[in-house]
Amino acid sequence: MAQASLSLLILLIAFTGFHRQLQVLSSEYDFSYMKSVYNATYLPPEEEYDYIVIGGGTAGCPLAATLSEEYSVLVLERGNAPKAHPSVLHASGSLANLMREEEEDVDDGDTPAQRFTSEDGVANVRGRVLGGSSMINAGFFSRADNEFFSKSGVEWDLDEVEKAYEWVEESIVSRPDLSAWQSVVKEALLEAGVGPDNGVNLKHELGTKVSGSTFDEMGRRHGAVELLNKGDLKNLRVAIHATVERIIFSTKTANPSAIGVIYTDSKGESHKASIRQNGEIILSAGAVGSPQLLLLSGIGPHSYLSSLNIPIVHSQPNVGKFMADNPRNNINLVIPFPYIPSTARVVGITNDYFIESASINLPFSPTSLPFGFLPTPSSPLELSLAVIAEKIVGPLSRGSLRLASKTDVKATPHVQFNYFTDPTDLSRCVSGMRKLGELLKTKSMDRFKYRDFNGARDFMFLGPTLPTNQSDDSSMEAFCQSSVTTIWHYHGGCLVGKVVDGDFKVIGTNSLRVVDGSTFTISPGTNPQATLMMIGRYVGLKILRERRELNYNGNSLSAIPQGQNYLGSHIKATCGQETVLSSCVCNGQ
């Protein structure tokens, strides 16, 4: 376990970067969306909207922005605004957020990265900030593979998929410059046979490529939250510190209809938000939060809900099932000379696994030697380290989610991913780790070897090392199983075809959808954030088209006249004064 914790710490540092020279926020950040952001404590006890999006994360932000083009939208985000956590806005600060709770060993309810440990014993995190996990990840931006689309259970309009990707990319994706280490990794991958060289490319293609990044050239992060700026801010209200406790249903029709939500603010006060005629409630709370809320709201396996005395709204046997997490295994090389840190920018793509890498400078304080043999340094030295990580395709292994509390949504559910229970996953890991062994034999990597006192040259590792006999399946399988951790790409719990249909509507209900990674059967490509943002835009446009058709047939209220604020012009805000909506921002506090 100590070895796994060391491996996690190293990778957290590596994949978030360590650019110490740039820590001052730039005026180039676009915080226009803050005009629509409110602390939930300042919102009325009861309100009504056309759409309610639960979760202002990687998919929820582009979804809400799109819907706000024509309708009133309430976003309920349990976390704070990014301005309250400046470290999430730059590559230099991400490590502090990821490690904060581990250091304090307590969850204060306000960290942007909420830690949890799966039933498998693997430490993991959930995004808890406006913008979701796109505000705490490594920034790597790459589109989904063809298999994801073909096996998703959704009949995609691929032209609209392309437009949705481009809508995201034009605003927040940068073309990265390669650091020295990333150039070496690219050379080594090609030398080891992970070809062809696909250059700079956002698409998922076999071979080696440089992909996009949500970090710009100055290390500034541009996450999903900035996509809110593309909506109509007059029609958008974002409540932070708003914890949704359950969805309200009407059972007057054959299928239960979602009609509102109950949420609490940071002071524990309860609020009710309802939807107007033909509106919808959309869960975008993530692969842990969305199935959890369905269960707490009475949608789930009949026998399970009955055992918890949760009133059953709709029996749905697959909620919380088919959970999956792509296992990650890595090796860590100590570099024998100072090296500039770099976040992941290059990926090697095969049919079975993906390889990414990063370099870091790890603070290191040597133990004092006796008799003053060497002076004790006044400040920690820096150890240059390179992390080479492998993620398998899929995965095929499946787990499940159970509630930790039948009433408290803040109690993180019990999640088990069952890493490597499917033998194909284990076989893919073995293949991937053998490829890492081949990388170490390339000429590109030779310069990173140390020379011992006898003149022999070899790599120096920090943490687990590959087995000596890499042709032995049993040794390689044991290495995969003993060194497994996460690359934070977990998904499932509300699968398409199991819990939601091809339009992401919850089967057997009305006015309720799930739009996030909980609907995924497999992880999309090398890194999921690009596809999560795309789906938010894609589904948002689909909903707008459906509403226009209803309006055309005269079956519903018309959409908002262009330029009109459908939210109403005033609300009761701080100090009991009547305040224009856009002025009560409070900087997320």
226 is in an annotated binding site: no
The number of residues in the chain equals: 589
The secondary structure of the chain in percent helix, strand, coil, rounded to multiples of 5, reads 30, 25, 40
Sheet with 414-416: strands ordered across: 321-323, 399-402, 414-416
Q: Which of 154, 152, 253, 306 lies closest to 508, judged by CA? A: 253
C-alpha distance from residue 310 to each of 175, 254, 284, 306 (Å): 49, 21, 22, 6
As a whole number of angstroms, the distance between CA 273 and CA 262 comes to: 7
As a whole number of angstroms, the distance between CA 512 and CA 522 comes to: 23
CA 410, 583, 62, 74 dihedral sign is: positive
**C-beta separation of 349 from 524 below 8 A:** no
CA 538, 543, 544, 548 dihedral sign is: positive
548 is in an annotated binding site: no
As a whole number of angstroms, the distance between CA 282 and CA 513 comes to: 5
Q: Which amino acid is at 518?
A: S
Q: Which amino acid is at 528?
A: P
Q: CA 307: distance to chain centroid?
A: 32
Among residues 85, 271, 314, 489, the one annotated as catalytic is 489
Q: Which of 273, 272, 271, 278 lies closest to 257, judged by CA? A: 278
Task: List beta partners, residue 270.
Answer: 264
- Phi-psi map region of 428: left, alpha, beta (phi>0 left; psi -120 to 50 alpha): alpha
The answer, yes or no, to whether the previous bond of 112 is cis (omega within 30 of 0) is no
17 is in an annotated binding site: no
As a whole number of angstroms, the distance between CA 93 and CA 98 comes to: 9
70 is in an annotated binding site: no
**C-beta separation of 461 from 436 below 8 A:** no
398 is in an annotated binding site: no
499 is in an annotated binding site: no
Structural element, H or E, at residue 385: strand 381-392
**C-beta separation of 527 from 294 below 8 A:** no
**C-beta separation of 524 from 287 below 8 A:** no
288 is in an annotated binding site: no
Q: In which residue are the tokens 């020279």 written?
A: 21
Q: For residue 51, give every residue at least 6 positions away whose Cβ sits within 8 Å of its Cβ, in sequence order, or none.
A: 64, 67, 71, 72, 73, 74, 275, 279, 280, 281, 282, 543
**C-beta separation of 429 from 317 below 8 A:** no
The answer, yes or no, to whether the previous bond of 196 is cis (omega within 30 of 0) is yes
77 is in an annotated binding site: yes
For the question of residue 489 being annotated catalytic, the response is yes
101 is in an annotated binding site: no
Helix (H, G, I), strand (E, B) or coil at 560: coil
The catalytic residues are 489
Annotated binding site for FAD: 77-78, 129, 244, 488-489, 517, 528-529
